[in-house]
Amino acid sequence: MPDTPAQEPLQAFLPGRQALIVRLTAQEGQRAALLEILNTYADGIGEEPGTEMYMVAVDPDDANLVWLYEIFRDEDAENAHRQSSGFAELMQALPQYIEGSPGVLRMQPLRMTVQENMFNEDWSF
């Protein structure tokens, strides 16, 4: 990929936002299936306008760990997220792919900085 000229990062202050980091432990050999249902859920995130960010990440040191990072506009948006049909479908599907209960860390994010050029990369598969 050719170098792109440096741009000023996008900056956002996040007053009133709610955030979660969620740790999911996939059953042995089930991480790919777990990622499939998480990505399917992510494809429908537009139905939750108050869910401002939903990131799925794999753990580089543990083949069974998956991490989610979510930012919600406010507490009402977080509650609406939990009441959405997509979330209900996700919660119904998760138990067959995970071990134990998800670990959840609640936060109130203050500021976000993002390099805009990452959104200009060719993400086609």
pTM reported for the whole predicted model? 0.86
pLDDT at 81 over 90: yes
Look up the CATH number of the domain holding residue 80: 3.30.70.100
The answer as to whether 3 is a domain residue is no
User: 28: domain range?
Assistant: 14-109
Count of domains in the chain? 1
Whether 9 is in a domain gets the answer no
- For 31-69, what is each residue's pLDDT tens digit? 999 999 999 999 999 999 999 999 999 999 999 999 999
Whether residue 117 lies inside any domain: the answer is no
Amino acid, single-letter form, for residue 40: T
The answer to the question of residue 119 being in a domain is no
Q: Is residue 120, in this structure, part of any structural domain at all?
A: no
In a domain, 95, yes or no: yes
Percentage of residues in the chain having pLDDT higher than 90: 78
- 39 located within any domain: yes
Q: Residue 23: phi, psi to the nearest 5?
A: -105, 120
Whole-number pLDDT of residue 119: 77
Size (the chain), residues: 125
**112 CB-near residues (< 8 Å, 6+ apart):** 11, 12, 14, 71
Q: Which pLDDT does position 1 carry in this prediction?
A: 47
